[in-house]
Structure 1
Amino acid sequence: MALGTVFDIAGSGMNAQSVRLNTTASNLANAQTASSSIDQVYRGRHPVFAAHYRDSMELGADSPASAAQAGVQVLGVVESDAPLQPRYEPHHPQADEEGYVYYPNVNVVEEMTNMISASRSFQANVEVMNSAKLMVQRVLTLGQ
C-alpha cells in the first residue's frame, strides 16, 4: 500500500464521519417536533457505511488509476423503522381528533452517543493524516 493511499483512506473516513455528524445533528434538532399525523412526523435518519477496497490487480495495470483504492463508502442515509412515540396530549395545538400527538423515534441519549463517537472517529482520522504527513516530511529530510 502506498503512503498516498493512507490519505485517501483517512479522508474517506473523515467524510463518512461528517455525514454521520450531520445526520445526528438533524436528528437532535428534530427530536421534539410534534405532529398530528403519523405520516408527517419526522423519522430518525442514520447513515449506512461500507468498507471499500479495490486492489490494483482488479483495476488492471494499464488503468489510469492503477493504485489500490480503499476507504469508507457512504451508501446512503436511511430512515429509522423504530416505532414513533404517540403521546396523549388533548390540549396540545397539534393533537389529532383522539387527542394524540406524535413525536419522532429519536432517542436523544443514543444520538448524543453517536455524536461523541463520530467526533472521536473524525479526530482519529485527523491524527492518521497528521502522522502520515509527518512521515512524508521525515522521508523528504532523509536526503539532505
Structure 2
Amino acid sequence: MIAGADPLAMVTRVAGAGLEAQSYRLRVVSENIANHRSTSATPGGDPYQRKTIVFAAELDRAIGAWSVDVKRTSLDGAPFVVEHDPHHPAANAEGEVKYPNVNLLTEMADMREANLSYEANLQMMRSARSMISMTIDLLRSGS
C-alpha cells in the first residue's frame, strides 16, 4: 500500500476489477452454454471449442494494491464429444458427428462460482460506499 493512499478508494478499485473480471467470465460461460450442442457447418468439421479464462494478479501502481485481471481467453484442449448419427448434416464419411467439448455441469458450476465472486465484490463496493457515507455524516455532525 502506498503511504497516504485512500483505503476506501483502494477497496473500490480492487472490487471494481473483480466485478469486471467475473462479468467477463460470466459472458464466456454463457457463450459455452449457448454453443454446447452446436456442430460444424461442414461435414466432418470441428464444432465450437470450449473457452476458458486465465486470470492474473496485477499490481495497480496508482493505489499500490494487487487486483485481478483477465490475462487471456484460451481454448479447452479436451476432446470433442463424438456421436454416431449418419443422417446429421455435420456427419463425416463414417456417420460420426463431433459436438463441442462443453460439459453443462462444469459450466453451471463455473457460473455459480463466478456469480458468488461477483456478489462478494459487489458487497465490498456497497460496504465501502456505506463507510464513505458514514464518514461524511461524521464530518458534517462534527462541524
What TM-score range do you get, normalising by the shorter chain?
Answer: 0.7 to 0.9
Q: Does 1:134 align with 2:126?
A: no
d(CA) in 2 for partners of 1:19, 1:89:
35
Name 1:22's counterpart in structure 2: 27
d(CA) in 2 for partners of 1:17, 1:71:
12
Q: Does 1:41 align with 2:37?
A: no
For structure 1, which runs of at least 5 residues remain unmatched after alignment?
Answer: 60-64
Q: TM-score, normalised by structure 1?
A: 0.86
Name 2:93's counterpart in structure 1: 97
Aligned residue type for 2:9? G
CA offsets 1:47-71 (integer angstroms, 9 cap, x no match): 11012225xxxx6xxxxx4x31431
Q: Give 1:10 deviation, angstroms.
A: 0.3
d(CA) in 2 for partners of 1:37, 1:130:
51
Which of 12, 19, 26 aligns to 2:17? It is 12
Aligned residue type for 2:47? V
Name 1:108's counterpart in structure 2: 104
Aligned residue type for 2:78? A
Aligned residue type for 1:86? V
Q: Which moved more, 1:45-54 or 1:76-85?
A: 45-54
Percent of residue pairs identical = 38
RMSD (Å) for aligned C-alpha atoms:
1.4
Aligned residue type for 2:135? V
d(CA) in 2 for partners of 1:12, 1:119:
15
For structure 2, which runs of at least 5 residues remain unmatched after alignment?
Answer: 2-6
> Which aligned runs of 4 or more in structure 1 are off by greater than 4 angstroms?
none
Q: TM-score, normalised by structure 2?
A: 0.87
Name 1:74's counterpart in structure 2: 70
